[in-house]
Chain A
């Protein structure tokens, strides 16, 4: 079975540009999570969806970040405009439970570099 799929795997962009990260969760999973990982801040939850509805977006850093889940098999995380401090690895994860405390399956991540 395919795991969580993320694209692109690597993204290099210039400050001010729009960046869109994509995620396809495991089929049948009804919860989806976006995380950001940096050396300084560790693994941070940005937002999570349950049944395509955003449940907790308290981790979204600021208005430049937005996330959508138009259907059960696709989600996007958009940064507009991007800044160098957004450079990080962004992970998408999914789970089959109702809450964020269920076992999560992570995608391979997108390594974002903003110059």
Chain B
């Protein structure tokens, strides 16, 4: 079943602009992860934020987590054409044995 729900489903912006994607989930989590997928290929792990963290940065990426609202956001600053991809949030309930629960993703298009 899908837990994470990304918003928006699709986003088109100009190169150089910032892109923000949101994710909501339903149950308690151990951590929340963001992945990128290019053209139906494998997923690339971008960043992981634990349930006791509120914000995390990695290069041009910034992730926030609000466990009281069960939501997270991914900000990509100074977007590039190579950022065009689908972005998925995935929740980990803990222990890893139940696998990740993915949202349906946000398709991001960066216009040159």
A binds B: no
**Which B residues form the contact surface with A (CB < 8 A)?**
none
